[in-house]
Amino acid sequence: MLRLSEWLEDALLRLNQTNSLQRKEGFTRLCFSEDERKSHKEFRRLAKSLHMETREDEVGNQWALLKSPGAKRTIAFGSHLDTVIHGGAFDGVAGVAAALALVYKLQKNQNQLNCNIVIIAFISEESARFGLSTIGSKTIAGRVDKKKWEKLYDDQGISIKEAMEAYGISWGTFDQAYDIPYKIDEFIELHIEQGTQLYKRNLPIGIVKGIATPKRFKLTVKGQANHTGTTSMKERKDALVISATLIQFIEERARKADLRNMGEIVATVSKINLSPSAINVIPGKVELFVDLRSADESLKDAFMKDLLAYIEGLSREKKVVIEHQVFVDEEAVTLDEDIQKRLKASCEELGLAFLELNSGAGHDAMNMAKRFRTGMIFVPSVDRISHHPEEYTPLLFIEQGVLLLERYLRQIEEDEE
């Protein structure tokens, strides 16, 4: 029989349909694509090889079940199999492969468990194709908004509805995936960190406390367009110059909060539109798109309060109108405290150093947390690179994650004894 690390590597290769986990062009498995389908098919094959029962739900999520005689509960693990364009081999896949490897290890050692194990390979977690993320887990969590979703198109002009139906999913009934095939008691996702906190401190495990969901808003500065040559400096209402002040305020306000709170809030002006946008015209109107994240809603609220007060003062001082419009406002997610406690105890038991941290990025776990007791662990990303062909997490780190999940299952049993 293969060693755990060998089996894990094989699973990673199979799920990525590749001979090498580091390829120059990376991996492109967009949501509802043939490539995503192939990876899901591979998942079913691997699960079956582990004697698991498999099911595909109405939205295309894969479910695999390992039954234990006399099980008192069902613990679910999993992550997603799709990628961004030219992404890496680990974002998502690492979590699915780790869950499968956990089952492999349990079976190899002929361990008796008092719980059933479910593995979920969520469909379409990345927003790369339609600007909509975590489609599979949103559907499980009952967070489908068909009216909004049906307006989403990819770069080829294909609607999400068309893409789903081409994939074999019924637009009319996909939300029935809310009725899950196997009842589960809790869900734990293993994922690569995609940040720097673990790798640079040489810590193998991150225990996620909360997930910083984004608040996204647009600021519109309404200055006055004029000829760049004939308008003296003091006559101007240059919307871009006023925007520069806003960009700096947003950066500095987040930086200050960040220094005090250890990386708990981030704010970014990530897009900007000028109107007009011509070399000889002073920008009259500027739109700034801001992405604000924290796992702590009160930090976001305090940030917005300060920003709006600043905008009011700036607007008065510069005699311009500055409007703001929120277009995404997801409540931050706090993960289950009992699961965190047990994960910590398990780390200590195994002698694995860990860090408690928040996730800056969104994950399937944030939707699962709306419906189930949910936990999440991170394994390090080398040099924090992610969504890129050079994304890399050594097998050893994923294997340590598998050991932690195994220990976690024992911990439940021990806690009950």
Q: How many residues bind its own copies (CB under 8 A)?
A: 57
Q: Using the rule CB under 8 A, is 3 a contact of its own copies? A: no
State both tokens at 71. 């099980």
Q: Using the rule CB under 8 A, is 216 a contact of its own copies? A: yes
For residues 161 and 154, give the distance between their C-alpha atoms in angstroms, rounded to a whole number. 11
Our measurement of the distance from residue 361's CA atom to the centroid of its chain's CA atoms, rounded to an integer in Å, reads: 5
Nearest to 163 by CA among 30, 28, 61, 17: 30
Secondary element (H or E) of residue 358: strand 354-359
Q: Using the rule CB under 8 A, is 270 a contact of its own copies? A: yes
3-class secondary-structure state, position 175: helix
For its own copies, which stretch binds (CB under 8 A), given 74-82, 104-112, 160-168, 382-390? 382-390
Which residue of 238, 296, 364, 406 would you call a contact of its own copies, by CB under 8 A?
A: 238
Which residue of 281, 320, 345, 382 would you call a contact of its own copies, by CB under 8 A?
A: 281
Count CA atoms within 13 Å of residue 334 on its CB side: 5
Shortest approach of its own copies to residue 258 CB, angstroms?
4
Q: Using the rule CB under 8 A, is 269 a contact of its own copies? A: yes
Q: Rounded to the nearest 10 degrees, what angle do helices 4-15 and 34-49 cross at?
A: 150
Q: Using the rule CB under 8 A, is 86 a contact of its own copies? A: no
Within residues 128-187, the interface with its own copies by CB under 8 A covers: none
Nearest to 121 by CA among 45, 213, 206: 45
Q: Using the rule CB under 8 A, is 291 a contact of its own copies? A: yes
Shortest approach of its own copies to residue 413 CB, angstroms?
34
For residues 57 and 41, give the distance between their C-alpha atoms in angstroms, rounded to a whole number. 13
CB-based contacts of 132, cutoff 8 Å, min separation 6:
149, 152, 160
For residues 64 and 252, give the distance between their C-alpha atoms in angstroms, rounded to a whole number. 47
Which residue of 289, 297, 349, 395 would you call a contact of its own copies, by CB under 8 A?
A: 289
Q: Using the rule CB under 8 A, is 293 a contact of its own copies? A: yes
Within residues 308-337, the interface with its own copies by CB under 8 A covers: none
For its own copies, which stretch binds (CB under 8 A), given 47-55, 143-151, 191-199, 334-342? 191-199
Mark residues 353-372: x for contact with its own copies by CB under 8 A, - for none: ------xxxx----------
DSSP assignment string, 148-172: HHTT-B-TTS-BHHHHHHHHT--TT
Within residues 218-237, the interface with its own copies by CB under 8 A covers: 226-235
Residues that bind its own copies (CB under 8 A): 127, 193-196, 212, 214, 216, 226-235, 238, 240-241, 243-245, 247-248, 251, 254-255, 258-259, 263, 266-272, 274, 277-283, 289, 291, 293, 359-362, 384, 386-387
